[in-house]
Amino acid sequence: MLVLVKRLSTQQPKRPLIVLQKSLNKNVIVKLKNDIEYRGRMNNVDSYMNLILEDAEEFNGETHLANYGKVVIRGNNVLFIQIASEI
């Protein structure tokens, strides 16, 4: 019983990853640690924040740098992910 309670209670702190999972196919802005932004549709994401971005565009601030199509971004480079409805 205690174990079950613990399981339930430890699920709550995982929410940021669940929010990301519920935002699949939304437009996102992914800011990396090197300050470059990638804007596109978040096709998928895992618990490490590795993510697939489709129709990805690369920006340095407001300066458009490149179009990348489909890219897989390695999660450890992510600073933050801004989700679609807020863009």
- Tell me whether residue 14 or residue 64 sits nearer to its own copies (CB atom): 14
User: Least distance from C-beta 74 to its own copies, angstroms?
Assistant: 5
Q: How far apart are CA 5 and CA 50, in angstroms?
A: 30
User: Least distance from C-beta 84 to its own copies, angstroms?
Assistant: 9
- The footprint of its own copies (CB under 8 A) covers 10, 12-17, 19-21, 32-35, 38, 43-47, 49-52, 68-83, 85-87
Pairing of β 51-60 and β 37-45:
antiparallel
Instruction: Identify the bridge partners of residue 26 per DSSP, sorted by sequence position.
Output: none
